[in-house]
Structure 1
């Protein structure tokens, strides 16, 4: 079993050139970083300039990876607007996780196929009409029902993030301590803590733990 992430940047045609370029650079940087976190390196490929697909060989890490990518993009801000980092984020994406078999391997990820690819691609299409930002589909209907509700709540929570909130969540997902985040961003630890609480980190952490437990119980990269 593998996990496939399918995603596209939202309203990318309206992005200023600098923001679109920064988004692509940030995505590639994050892909390289995430590839080092699993025994078999995850693979990602950008296509059409504003979409990507990725293969994660440890499905239990898929939600973490999706949120790392999401917050990396949500925290982007243009150079001339750095003073407004607490304002509404300028870049966002829609991302679908599919967990299943890997039946047809090709050198190019978009040319590959299998259950995980189909689940991910179809879920991404369905999310467009539902105005969802993150979704999950597996062969297990009970798991799908549980996380459909959980991820809807996550959508509601993340819609309230500013670029500053997303930035703090990003570093928490990288397991930085509050003091380390404060040093990285040049702000006080109390400011980090306030942004952490405002962004709903405790609920996100619980969701990640639950996802990891459930997916490890039912799926693994050896299956």
Structure 2
């Protein structure tokens, strides 16, 4: 098996969600995994209700997949619990949605039937997410939630600032802008999204412009070309 990309991610502030929202989130993530497999030929799974792993056999598409996951989660509406600390953490969920790391490298095992994923790519992604997890901290400070990890030094150096800029851009998106971004990443045009939302194309265009779609699309294309060139 050649180089692949594995995306690992954990939901921000998932423990502060009310039980109904945690169940809803789990079901929505399972739906997302199915949609991504149909669009991008990925293999994904949801673990413990709030942790996602997704293998991209076409690694050049992994940034589009990661951004689709992030925008999908940010579009999910959730309710804050009664405690003020929960409300503050829910604000973090609405801002960031999910931490994601793209691990780019070899896989020694991909046994879909038995759910076994092993190798450099998943190790790189999982380790980065574990480093960033704030589960054991009383106060969660989030500086970045989108990462690219690889033993290929020049490639990592090239993509680190890209991930940081995309992270800042998407963190400012509203739930509706995130939803528009998701459907664009999934290949729908503005007329199709407008029909899905029951609004005019101009409204979708406004959301698209506000979320910075042109810059995101160009960045995804740049990533696509760069990773393709790295393939043996």
TM range (shorter): 0.7 to 0.9
> Partners in 2 of 1:158 and 1:108 — Cα distance?
35
2:86 paired residue number: none
- Offset of 1:188 from its aligned partner? 1.9
> Partners in 2 of 1:69 and 1:63 — Cα distance?
10
**C-alpha contact 1:26 1:72 (8 A) present in aligned 2:** no
**What's the TM-score, normalizing by structure 1?**
0.85
Q: Does 1:10 align with 2:12?
A: yes
Runs of 4+ in structure 1 off by over 6 angstroms are: none
| CA RMSD, Structure 1 to Structure 2 (Å) | 2.1
**C-alpha contact 1:123 1:136 (8 A) present in aligned 2:** no
1:176 paired residue number: 188
Q: Does 1:46 align with 2:46?
A: yes
> Partners in 2 of 1:188 and 1:163 — Cα distance?
18
41-50 or 141-150, which deviates more: 41-50
Give the counterpart of 1:149 among 161, 182, 185: 161
- Offset of 1:205 from its aligned partner? 0.4
What secondary structure does 1:95 align onto? strand
- 1:2-59 Cα offsets, whole Å, 9 max, x none, are 1111110110011122322222122111111221234xx4211211221121211110
**What's the TM-score, normalizing by structure 2?**
0.82
What secondary structure does 2:100 align onto? strand
List aligned pairs for 1:126-141, cutoff 5 A.
Answer: 126-128=131-133, 131-141=143-153
2:87 paired residue number: none
List aligned pairs for 1:51-200, cutoff 5 A.
Answer: 51-78=51-78, 90=94, 92-106=97-111, 108-109=114-115, 111-128=116-133, 131-200=143-212
| Contiguous gaps of at least 5 residues in structure 1 | 80-87
> Partners in 2 of 1:176 and 1:29 — Cα distance?
18
How many aligned residue pairs are there?
A: 209
